[in-house]
Structure 1
């Protein structure tokens, strides 16, 4: 806690030291040399190095993936590539990382429990039931592994050989976390958590969606889990040998009394408060409930029975950013304090509707500026960490130790306060993302392309799509995408169910690989639904929006609707509901040459 105080009291000085250290190490890399020409100076860095999106740095990362040396962007060896849940051209983005960055992440994790200890007593008197999972990996032509950031951490020696002190003992054995089969992993982790029920003091997962997926699994399989506990045996379909052996050590012997207690609770008509009922010593639920995960707060509150929802940290594949110094604050009031030693942070001002200030199309303007050698106007607008203003919104820009320089993360943050000299931020939204259920992030452009492709199936049958919008329906588990379509037909036609179901599948096939993986492999997203509405429904939606304050002159149909009231306007005019019959095609990605396939 003293270290946190020192870092935040000297936030400006620490930031300058971080940038100078990054420049000292990496000025001679190919990327920075092209802008700095060997000058290690903060002012020169800000004047000459451009603010960039992923598309500008992707060619350099691809070259490393294809076997060129790390010093293209980093003086330290790139040890692996981290796949982001954001996408580029329908594929996951890949970010460079180094061995030292894993040390930095471990340092970050080690700060979380000391903060919680300030607010919750007795966390050293039991275990944490954290449901943690690994995701698919791919290999690059250079031999580097590319995988999600959390998978990288769970498979590292930092996690597997962590000191088993009283604060980081989990109910899930490592071999159940590292099991590649998500269903086997889920079953075994829940089984271990139920067996160790009296010792559980905190329940959690990384994201709210993952914990709710576990509850849905428990709803579907509690009878089988109880049978495992009653007999002291693991189900035969658990075929991962290491996973099975690890669970049997925890299960150890039959326990009819525990099985009966769980059966009694799970067989009740309502599962309200089930987490608190099954794990009665639980002090809080540890999950990220900010950003797109906020849509799951009502369900978590239902299942949690009044347990606090705690979001402890804020990070991404690019780097880890900040921690929540007031973890028991309400989910709607969560703010993160950015730790100034993790990376060099800059901020691009955005207006209150979260559109970037400056050019109407800043990405096009930026590409033009880079191509002709002039400075992009974005460059002159960015401000340092200690210069942000209370109540203002900004897009986060990072310069990391691992080879990202003035990189736009895409997160929109609002300044809510300060801890010493370090600002605190509330996560507002992702730039350009309109739909998200789990780790998927679907942009308006991706949705348009998918819908356009699907509408080709309508033409032979005399239908025309006149308008559409969408929302993420998380009222049931798993959540799913809903599209409202208003159709115009030549003549009086009855809506053909098979045609509409084919349209649902066509949309899903055109969405990116992260979405398709969540649908087919992880089962964390349900079948896409198209709800056909009466003619005139979108006129009703416009009337509603105008009555709520939108300008008639500037109104355009929102491609994603957020408010329950707006959804109800269209819901009241639905004449048909159609779902995808099958999950879309997906297979683990491989990198071959310059292409991801």
Structure 2
């Protein structure tokens, strides 16, 4: 005769089984990740050797491509035989490769897919993803994950929400952290992830689904996202809809967490009492947003993300390094000074700022990424690099990536450039990041009384950019404002009346 156990007891037994399984998988993960970490750690002690190894490998591969042959590259060619290029310089070669996918135009590796990222004037850049590039991303994740398991908080469940930017309406969605993974790590990560669908009619529908998923996981330990505002916006949504969420969840929400959700303000650590890590941007404008996030989760380890471009993984945070170290065994890094001199990784100087040039096993060679990095300090024999600016006049509060060219075109379409005086679009960080359009006196007189209409038109114009539109749909960015009364001091210093002034003005460091 069977024994009818009380339901709470059965639930507790299931929780114990799940805990033991996750604990076993965490130990297995650490074992699986350790070789990649050890290899990388050794590379940090001899970065010059690793960089030369990669250069030799890239030169050899180029000899088998039409691009390399057009440059006269042989296996004995010097690295300088490869020209430094921008995306526009290299576009025709990328286009040929897309048109003839089975030919070795820029790479002799199979291209698994093309990933999109923003280009100048809001256009889309297409970046090829090969096995070599995907291996670099997987290696980056392996090193980062092992470092956290070995040197970070005492993880017990490993339960993780890895942010994915959803598809809203009929637009393409983004990618989450696990889309960069290959092999066993991709399979293993699936056992720890909190999953949410990726196609929703609008931002509110996505936030509702995400709220339900997060609230059903009291053992959540890790939140990995990009912009900190993604999480603060989600928490605000959950606070505003708490009663509807409580009703929808029913007995899937235990009494303790239900009561915590009903109290105002919500103590979020009572909602996720096991939360140990939030991984997010914390450089440039995101620094203030990350600090604000810490007030929601006091005591939780908030770790800044390294520089991860669509083109390649660049840097990762290491706990013992106290900063961001470059992927010296996966990509070639070169640095351009203000006067155009190109410096190798091991010859950079502490405190100096450089524009980044990368070469990858994915088909990009001496490619000007444009981001500006500063050497903060050294770890082992490798410089640690902090992001201090996006390249070529790009503003990026929460991932919207507005370029100078695109902003100028948008303002020109509204008749605001060259006709009624100067105007500048300025990013404003804070708990609700947004943009402000500052107008000169001539422009203010011309649009008097029409400020709100102009602001709406400008916001609509900027939403032609996919990344800006998505940030607005997800409420990570507030609407554009038009300022007709007063200007920041830094904006008025020698700029008004200068015909070469930029339409996109990014505040100097320390002014916001």
TM-score bin, normalised by smaller chain: 0.7 to 0.9
Find the aligned partners of 2:499 and 2:441 in 1 and give their Cα distance: 24
Q: Among residues 481, 484, 498, which one is paired with 1:529 in the alignment?
A: 481
Map residues 492-531 of structure 1 onto 2, 5 A cutoff: 495-497=448-450, 500-502=452-454, 504-506=456-458, 508-509=460-461, 512-518=464-470, 521-531=473-483
In the alignment, what sits opposite 1:343? 331
**Kindly tell me: are residues 122 and 179 of structure 1, through their superposed partners in 2, closer, same or farther at Cα, counting changes over 3 Å?**
farther
Q: Does 1:169 align with 2:114?
A: no
Q: Among residues 54, 65, 69, which one is paired with 2:98 in the alignment?
A: 65
Find the aligned partners of 1:214 and 1:3 in 2 and give their Cα distance: 38
Q: Among residues 310, 313, 316, which one is paired with 1:320 in the alignment?
A: 313
**Kindly tell me: are residues 60 and 495 of structure 1, through their superposed partners in 2, closer, same or farther at Cα, counting changes over 3 Å?**
same
Check conservation: 2:120, 2:403, Cα contact below 8 A: no
Check conservation: 1:134, 1:180, Cα contact below 8 A: yes
3-state secondary structure, aligned to 2:296? helix
Find the aligned partners of 1:489 and 1:102 in 2 and give their Cα distance: 49
Count of paired positions? 474
Query: Could you list the per-position Cα deviations for residues 35-78 of structure 1 after superposition, in whole angstroms to 9, with x for gaps in the alignment?
Result: 1x2412352x31x2211111011122223333454411010121
Check conservation: 2:472, 2:479, Cα contact below 8 A: no
Find the aligned partners of 1:489 and 1:430 in 2 and give their Cα distance: 29
Find the aligned partners of 1:390 and 1:471 in 2 and give their Cα distance: 30
Find the aligned partners of 1:42 and 1:512 in 2 and give their Cα distance: 44
Find the aligned partners of 1:512 and 1:159 in 2 and give their Cα distance: 39
**Kindly tell me: are residues 118 and 494 of structure 1, through their superposed partners in 2, closer, same or farther at Cα, counting changes over 3 Å?**
closer
In the alignment, what sits opposite 1:257? 255
**Kindly tell me: are residues 455 and 555 of structure 1, through their superposed partners in 2, closer, same or farther at Cα, counting changes over 3 Å?**
closer
Deviation (angstroms), 1:151: 5.1
Q: Among residues 452, 464, 473, which one is paired with 2:428 in the alignment?
A: 473
Find the aligned partners of 2:354 and 2:124 in 1 and give their Cα distance: 24
Find the aligned partners of 1:55 and 1:131 in 2 and give their Cα distance: 31
Query: Could you list the per-position Cα deviations for residues 223-259 of structure 1 after superposition, in whole angstroms to 9, with x for gaps in the alignment?
Result: 22211222xxxxxxxxxxxxxxxxxxxxxx5446156
Deviation (angstroms), 1:287: 1.1
Q: Does 1:40 align with 2:81?
A: no
In the alignment, what sits opposite 1:427? 387
Map residues 185-224 of structure 1 onto 2, 5 A cutoff: 185-197=206-218, 199-224=219-244
Deviation (angstroms), 1:326: 2.5
Deviation (angstroms), 1:403: 0.8
Query: Could you list the per-position Cα deviations for residues 325-364 of structure 1 after superposition, in whole angstroms to 9, with x for gaps in the alignment?
Result: 13795xxxxx3111212111111113xxxxxx24xxxxxx
Query: Could you list the per-position Cα deviations for residues 186-235 of structure 1 after superposition, in whole angstroms to 9, with x for gaps in the alignment?
Result: 433332322222x22233323323222322332333222211222xxxxx
Find the aligned partners of 1:187 and 1:208 in 2 and give their Cα distance: 18
Deviation (angstroms), 1:421: 2.0
Q: Among residues 292, 295, 307, which one is paired with 1:302 in the alignment?
A: 295
Query: Could you list the per-position Cα deviations for residues 300-340 of structure 1 after superposition, in whole angstroms to 9, with x for gaps in the alignment?
Result: 133233533202432111111221113795xxxxx311121
Check conservation: 1:82, 1:147, Cα contact below 8 A: no
Unaligned residue ranges in structure 1 (runs of 5+):
140-145, 231-252, 330-334, 351-356, 359-380, 568-597
Q: Does 1:560 align with 2:512?
A: no
TM-score by length of 1: 0.70
Find the aligned partners of 2:403 and 2:143 in 1 and give their Cα distance: 34
In the alignment, what sits opposite 1:361? none
Query: Could you list the per-position Cα deviations for residues 520-556 of structure 1 after superposition, in whole angstroms to 9, with x for gaps in the alignment?
Result: 65443332211222xxx46x8479758xxx9x99996
Check conservation: 2:280, 2:290, Cα contact below 8 A: no
**Kindly tell me: are residues 512 and 225 of structure 1, through their superposed partners in 2, closer, same or farther at Cα, counting changes over 3 Å?**
same
In the alignment, what sits opposite 1:3? 39
Tell me which stretches of 4 or more aligned residues in structure 1 moved more than 6 Å: 136-139, 552-558, 563-567
3-state secondary structure, aligned to 1:425? strand
Check conservation: 2:169, 2:199, Cα contact below 8 A: no
3-state secondary structure, aligned to 1:79? strand
Check conservation: 1:154, 1:178, Cα contact below 8 A: no
**Kindly tell me: are residues 293 and 38 of structure 1, through their superposed partners in 2, closer, same or farther at Cα, counting changes over 3 Å?**
same
**Kindly tell me: are residues 494 and 9 of structure 1, through their superposed partners in 2, closer, same or farther at Cα, counting changes over 3 Å?**
closer
Deviation (angstroms), 1:80: 0.8
3-state secondary structure, aligned to 1:475? coil
Deviation (angstroms), 1:401: 0.6
Deviation (angstroms), 1:408: 0.5
**Kindly tell me: are residues 108 and 516 of structure 1, through their superposed partners in 2, closer, same or farther at Cα, counting changes over 3 Å?**
closer
TM-score by length of 2: 0.80
Find the aligned partners of 1:327 and 1:177 in 2 and give their Cα distance: 36
Q: Does 1:396 align with 2:417?
A: no
In the alignment, what sits opposite 2:21? none
Find the aligned partners of 2:332 and 2:227 in 1 and give their Cα distance: 26
In the alignment, what sits opposite 1:574? none
CA RMSD in angstroms, aligned pairs only: 3.7
Find the aligned partners of 2:224 and 2:491 in 1 and give their Cα distance: 43
Check conservation: 1:132, 1:177, Cα contact below 8 A: no
**Kindly tell me: are residues 410 and 553 of structure 1, through their superposed partners in 2, closer, same or farther at Cα, counting changes over 3 Å?**
closer
Q: Among residues 406, 414, 436, which one is paired with 2:366 in the alignment?
A: 406
Q: Does 1:108 align with 2:154?
A: no
3-state secondary structure, aligned to 2:440? strand
Find the aligned partners of 2:447 and 2:105 in 1 and give their Cα distance: 60
Q: Among residues 57, 79, 82, which one is paired with 2:112 in the alignment?
A: 79
